[in-house]
A and B are shown apart, each in its own frame.
Chain A
Amino acid sequence: MTGNFLFQAVIYLSAAIVCVPIAKRFGLSSVLGYLLAGIIIGPYLLGFIGEEGEDILHFAEFGVVMMLFLIGLEIEPKAFWRMKKTILGMGGSQVLFTVILCFLILSLLGYSWQSSVSIAMALALSSTAIVLQTLKEKNLMDTVYGASSFSILLFQDIIVIPMLAIVPLLGTASGSTSDGHDSGHSSLLDNLPIGLQTVFVLLSVVIVVLAGRYLIVPLLRVVAGTRLRELFSASTLLIVIAIAYLMELVGLSPALGAFLGGVVLATSEFKHELESNLEPFKGLLLGLFFIAVGASINFGMIIDSPVEISLMVLGVIALKGVVLYIVASIFRIKMDQKLLIAVGLAQVGEFAFVLLSFTNQLGILSREQLDLFLVITAISMTLAPLLAIFNERVILPRIGTKESEEKPMDTIDKKNKIILVGFGHFGSTVGRFLRANGVELTILDHDSSRVDLLRKLGFEVYYGDATREDLLESAGAGEADILISAIDDPEATMEMVEVLKRNYPNLKLMVRAKSRVDAYELLNAGVTNIYRESLDTSVRVAEDALHFLGHRKYTTHRQAQNFKKYDEESLRRLANKVLNSDEYIFRAREEIAQQETLLKEDLKRGNLYDDDTSWDSESMRTRINKKE
C-alpha cells in the first residue's frame, strides 16, 4: 500500500516537474502544464492513474479550500464592503443571465427542467482556481480585468452555497428520493427539521467568526511565542482543516467556510505569516487538483461523439463569453479589459464537478449526462489558458486602449508604499514620525506581544520573520517603493538585505546599521542609504560636552555638522578596503584597526576649527594688517 502510494507520488510529482517548466518556457500559465501532466499520466494515454483519479480529485479539492482561505485573507472586511457593488452587480448579473440562457437552451434540447436548472447552475460558474492562479502569475490583480474577475468569481463562490441547497429540493420535486445523498458525504443535520438545520448553519458561521477573533488569534500568539516555525505551519493547517471540517459537518461548503475564516483573520497581525505558510500547500494541492482534472477527462466519450462534444464546449464558452461581455459593457469597462474578462472567465469551473456529482447522487442526472458535462467542464478548463493566450497575443494588440493618466506637478504622493521592518525603540520612532506626516506604513516585527500592543494602538503591524522571502513578498515588497530596515540584529539585517537585493533590485532600501563595520558590509552589499545608529547621538554628546566647556553653541554645532560630513565621507572611502570576514575575532580586530585609521586621519586633518573661516574676523584682520 505504501509502495503504491510512493509510486503514485513519484508519478504525480515527476509529471508536474516535467510539464510545468515546459509550459512556463512557452510563456503559458502553470495551470496548463498541470492539466497536460494529468492528461499524459491519465487512463487514456500512459494509464498510470485510473479509477483513483476521482478520489484524488476530491482530496485535491482541498487546494481550492486553501485558495479561498488565502483569498479571504487578502480581503479585509472594509475592502469587501467597498467592493459590494461590483460583486453583487457584475457577479449577480453574470450568474443570473448565464443560468437563464443555459436553462432555456437545455430545455429546448430536451432535458427535463430539473436537470436543465442544475446543469445551468453548474455551467454558470467559472474556475476560481485557474483564473486567480493566472491573474497572480501575470501580476494582473490590480487591473480592472483582475478586480472585476475577482468580484465575479467571489460572487460565484458564494452563490454556490445556495445552489447546493437548491439542488436537493429539485430532487424532491422530481419525485426521486434523496437517499442518493447518503452515498456522498452525510451531514449531521440530515435528520433534523429544516428550521433547526438553518439555525445550525447560522450558528456554525457565527462560530467561525467568533473563533477567528477570540480563539485563533490568541492561539497563534501563544504559538508565535514558542518561536518554532513548524508549529506555526501546523497551526495554520489546523485552522483551515478545522474550519473545513466544521463546515462539512453542518453541510456547508468548506470553501466558503475557509473564505469566511480568511476574511476574519485578514485584519489580524498574523495575516502575512499565515499567507506565507499556506502558500506552498495551496500550490501543491492546486497542482494536484489540476492534474486530477486533466486525468479525469473521458477521452473515450470524446472519441465516441467528437462533433457533439466540441460543439457543446464551444457553445458553452461562447455563451458565457457573450454574457460576460454584455455584463462588462453595462459596467462601462474599457474594450481591452472587457475582452479579457469575457475570454478569461468563459470556462466552466471546478465547482461544476462538485455540483454535477451531487446532482447525480440525487438522481436528477443520469450517469451519461453527468459524464458528458464533466467532460465539457474539463475540456473548457483545459482550453481556458489557451484562450487567454489567444486573447493576449492576437486580439489585444489590435485594440490597444491603454489607460493614460495625467500627473499633477510635483505633489507628494501620499500613497507611497513603505514597509518598515522592526518596530523596537529605533523603528517605532521612524514609524511615529512617518505616521505623523500622514504616511501609511506596513510594519513587520517578530515580537508577537509587541505586535499585539501596537495593533491596539491602531498601527498596521504584522508578525513575522522578515528574512523570509515569502513573508517579504506577501508584505508587498514587490509593490512597495521603500523598505526601511530598523532591525537590531546585524546578521538578520544582512540576511534580509541579500534576499531583497536578489529579488527586488528596484526597491529602495534604507537600512539601520549598528556599527561602522556593519555599515561597511552594507555598503559593499550595494546599499547606499545607511543610517548608523551611533553617529548622530554620539556626536551630539560631544557637541554638548564642548558647550559645557564654554564653547559657543552655534560654533560647536557647525563643527558637529562638519564632523558628521567628514565621517560619512571616510566611511564610503574606506568601505572597499575592508576585508569581509565573519569571524568575530577578526571583526573585533578589524574594528580596532578602523579606529586607528580614523584617529590618524583626524590628526592629519587637524582641528576642524581652523577650517571654518566663515564669520572669522580674526583671519580677516591679520590679512589686512599684513597687507599694510
Chain B
Amino acid sequence: MKKILVLFAHPRYEQSRTNRTLIEGIKGMDGVTIHDLYERYPDFNIDIFIEKDLLKHNDVIVWHHPFYWYSCPPLLKQWIDIVLEFGWAYGPDGDALVGKQALNVLTAGGTREVYCSEGRNNYTIREFLRPFEQTARLCGMDYLPPFAVMGTHKLSREELTTHIDQYQELLRSLQGDSIDIPEGDSCQFLNDLSFLQNTQAK
C-alpha cells in the first residue's frame, strides 16, 4: 500500500468551512499523513530535515490548499522553495523524489465555468497549475490532474459531503494504485473520473 503525505496549507483554517470538512473527512485514514504547514511553521521557519524525511517516507505527495490569486498560499511556496533542494530533489544527484506521485487538491470560490478561455479568468485551472506540474516533473515525479472543489461560496451541505466521500475514495485508490488516468490534458480534474462519479451516485 502506498503512503500518502497531505501537505496542507491554509492561513485561516478555523474560518474555512470547506477545507475544515475536507481535512476532517480524511483525518485518521490509514497510511495518510496530514501535515498542517501553517500550524507547524507559523514563523515560516520550515525545518528542512524533517520535511525531507517526511517526503522520503511517502509515495504520494498531495499539495492541499485553497486557490489564492491563481496559486497556493505563500507558506506552501516557501516550502517548495526551500525543501525541494538543488542536489537533492533536482539537479546533480537530485533524485530523492523520482517515481513518486504529486497532485494538487484545491478549493476555489469560482466555478469551473469562470476558469476557461471564455470565462472571467481566461485560463483553466490546469493551466494555472503549470508551475506545480513542472516542479513535479523536474523532480522526476508523476504529476496527476488536480482534485478540485469549485464554487465553494455556494456549496450545499450535500455537495460538500459528496466531495468528502470522493476525496476519501481518491486517496484510497491512490494507495492501491488502481486508478487509470488518461495521459496529457484530456483529464482536467480527477473529480471527473468515472470511479469518483460512482461515489457521487451513492
Contact = CB atoms under 8 A, between A and B. Distances in A.
Interface of A: 409-412, 558, 561-562, 565, 613-615, 619-620, 623-624, 627
B45 A558 contact: yes
B81 A614 contact: yes
B45 A410 contact: no
Given A412-B14, A627-B92, A615 B85 contact: no
A562 B44 CA distance: 12
B43 A561 contact: yes
Nearest to A626: B92
Nearest to B78: A614
Nearest to A411: B14
B24 A562 contact: no
A623 B24 contact: no
B19 to A, nearest CB: 11
A613 B81 CA distance: 11
B116 interface: no
A409 B45 contact: no
Interface residues of B, number: 13
A311 B14 CA distance: 64
B86 A620 contact: yes
Contact of B82 (A561, A565, A615): A615
A411 B15 CA distance: 10
A623 B87 contact: yes
Most buried by B among A409, A561, A614, A627: A614
B24 A613 contact: no
A614 B82 contact: yes
Interface in B8-45: 14, 20, 24, 43, 45
B81 A623 contact: no
B14 A409 contact: no
Contacts of B82: 614-615
Contact of A620 (B48, B81, B91): B91
A411 B14 CA distance: 8
Closest 9 A/B residue pairs (Cβ): A614-B82, A561-B45, A620-B86, A627-B92, A409-B24, A561-B43, A623-B92, A623-B87, A613-B85
Given A412-B14, A561-B45, A614-B81, A623 B20 contact: no
A2 B85 CA distance: 88
A374 B24 CA distance: 64
Contacts of A615: 81-82
B15 to A, nearest CB: 11
B45 A614 contact: no
Contact of A409 (B20, B43, B48, B81): B20
Nearest to A558: B45
Nearest to B23: A410
A407 B24 CA distance: 14
Contacts of A627: 92
A614 B92 contact: no
A562 B45 contact: yes
Contacts of A624: 91-92
A412 B86 CA distance: 41
Contacts of A613: 85-86
Contacts of B24: 409-410
A626 to B, nearest CB: 9
Contacts of B43: 561
A411 B20 CA distance: 11
A620 B24 CA distance: 41
Contacts of A411: 14
B161 to A, nearest CB: 14
B76 to A, nearest CB: 15
A562 B81 CA distance: 18
B91 A614 contact: no
A356 to B, nearest CB: 62
Nearest to B86: A620
Interface in B48-77: 48
Nearest to B83: A614
A437 to B, nearest CB: 13
B155 to A, nearest CB: 17
B48 A614 contact: yes
Contacts of B85: 613-614
